[in-house]
Amino acid sequence: MQATTCPYCGVGCGVAVQSESDAVQVQADAQHPANLGRLCSKGSALAATVSEAGEAARILHPSIDGKQVDWTQATDHIAASIRSAIDEHGVDSVAFYLSGQLLTEDYYVANKLMKGFIGTANVDTNSRLCMSSAVAAYQRAFGADAVPCCYEDLECTDLLVLIGSNAAWTHPVLYQRMVQAKQSNPNLRVVLIDPRRTISNDLADLHLPLKPSSDGILFKGLLRHLIAHDVVDRAFIAGHTDGFAEAERSVASWDIDRVAEHTDLSRDQLTQFYDWFATTPKAISFYSQGINQSATGTDKCNDIINCHLATGRIGQPGAGPFSITGQPNAMGGREVGGLASQLAAHMGFTEPETDRVQRFWNAPTVAKQPGLKAVDLFDAMHRGDIKVVWILATNPAVSLPDSEHVRAALAKCPTVIVSDLTANDTTEYANVLLPALGWGEKDGTVTNSERRISRQRAFRPAPGEAKSDWWSLTQVAQKLGYENQFPYTSAHEVFVEHARLSGFENNGKRAFDISALSTLTGKGYDSLKPVQWPVTHARPKGTARLFTNHQFFTATQRAQFIAAPPHIIAAPDGMFLLNTGRLRDQWHTMTRTGQVASLCGHDELPFVEMHPDDAADQGLSQHQFVQVQNHHGRFIGRLNVVDSVQRGQLFAPIHWTQQFAQSAIINSVVAPVVDAVSGQPQSKAAVVSLQRF
Ligand code: SF4
Compute, in angstroms, the gap from residue 169 CA to the centroid of ligand 1. 10
pLDDT at 12 over 70: yes
**C-beta neighbour count of 393 within 10 angstroms:** 24
Q: Give pLDDT, residue 584.
A: 79
Give me the sign of the Cα torsion angle 671, 676, 681, 685. Answer: negative
pLDDT of residue 48: 85
Q: What is the whole-number distance in angstroms between the Cα of residue 449 and the centre of ligand 1?
A: 12
The ligand 1 atom nearest the CA atom of 5:
7
Query: Which whole number is the average pLDDT over 388-393?
Result: 98
Distance 328 CA to ligand 1 centre (A): 9
The pLDDT of residue 344: 96
* Complex ipTM value: 1.00
| Residue 111: CA count within 13 A, CB half-sphere | 34
Atom of ligand 1 nearest to the CA of 328: 7
**Across 419-427, average pLDDT:** 94
CA of 513 to the centre of ligand 1 (A): 26
For residues 598-612, give the mean pLDDT.
Answer: 84
CATH second-level architecture of 2-56? 2-Layer Sandwich (3.30)
pLDDT at 571 over 90: no
pLDDT at 53: 55
DSSP state of 463: P
For 495, the 3-state DSSP assignment is: helix
Q: Which of 17, 29, 35, 446 to mutate to test the pocket of ligand 1 (most atoms within 8 A of CB)?
A: 35
pLDDT band with cut points at 50, 70 and 90 for residue 331: confident
- The residues spanned by each domain of the chain are 2-56, 63-130+328-532, 132-324, 576-692
- For 576-692, CATH number out of 3.30.300.130, 3.40.190.80, 3.40.50.300, 2.40.40.20 equals 2.40.40.20
User: In testing the pocket of ligand 1, which one of 5, 11, 592 has its CB within 8 Å of the most ligand atoms?
Assistant: 11
Residue 482's pLDDT is: 98
Is 312's pLDDT higher than 90?
yes
- Give the pLDDT mean for 493-507: 97
CA of 43 to the centre of ligand 1 (A): 5
Pairing of strands 686-692, 576-581: antiparallel
Which among 613, 612, 637, 632 has a CA at the least distance from the CA of 691?
637
Average pLDDT of the chain to the nearest whole number: 94
Q: Homologous superfamily of 132-324 in CATH?
A: Dimethylsulfoxide Reductase, domain 2 (3.40.228.10)
Amino acid 600: pLDDT: 75
Dump pLDDT digits (tens) for 515-524: 999 999 999 9
Hey, whose CA ends up nearest to atom 4 of ligand 1? 13
Residue 415 forms beta bridges with which residues?
388
Indicate the pLDDT class of residue 620, thresholds 50, 70 and 90.
Answer: very high
- Is residue 267 predicted with pLDDT exceeding 80? yes
Beta bridge partners of 344: 347
pLDDT value, residue 605? 85
State the distance from the centre of ligand 1 to the C-alpha of 224, rounded, in angstroms: 38
pLDDT band at 297 (very low <50, low <70, confident <90, very high): very high
Contact 641, 622 (CB under 8 A): yes
Separation between Cα atoms, residue 230 and residue 98, nearest integer Å: 47
pLDDT of residue 55: 67
User: Atom 3 (ligand 1): residue with closest C-alpha?
Assistant: 40
3-class secondary structure per residue, 184-232? HCCCCEEEEECCCCCHHHHHCCEEECCCCCCHHHHHHHHHHHHHHCCCC
- Please confirm whether the linkage preceding 534 is cis (ω < 30° from 0): yes
pLDDT at site 587? 76
Average pLDDT over residues 174-201: 96
What pLDDT score was predicted for residue 52? Answer: 59
The whole-number average pLDDT for the span 654-675 is 85
Strand partners, 609: 640, 651
| H helix intervals, 343-457 | 351-361, 374-383, 396-399, 403-412
User: Residues enclosing ligand 1, CB less than 6 A?
Assistant: 6, 8-9, 11-13, 35, 39-40, 42-43, 171-173
Q: Give the residue whose CA is nearest to atom 2 of ligand 1.
A: 9
User: Residue 326: pLDDT band by 50, 70, 90 thresholds?
Assistant: confident
pTM: 0.96
The conformation of residue 316, written as its DSSP 8-state character, comes to B
Q: Which residues contact 670 (CB under 8 A, 6 or more apart)?
A: 401, 402, 403, 578, 580, 632, 681, 682, 683, 686
Of the residues 4, 5, 13, 449, which should be mutated to test ligand 1's pocket, given the most ligand atoms within 8 Å of the CB?
13
Mean pLDDT across the stretch 643-651? 95
Q: Are 212 and 189 in contact (CB under 8 A)?
A: no
Range 220-249 average pLDDT: 98
Instruction: Give residue 212 CA to ligand 1 midpoint distance, Å.
Output: 28
What CATH number labels 63-130+328-532?
3.40.50.740
Mean pLDDT of 62-68: 98
Residue 10 Cα to ligand 1 midpoint, Å, equals 7
Euclidean distance between CA atoms 510 and 346, whole angstroms: 7
Atom of ligand 1 nearest to the CA of 8: 8
pLDDT-derived band of residue 604, with 50, 70 and 90 as boundaries? confident
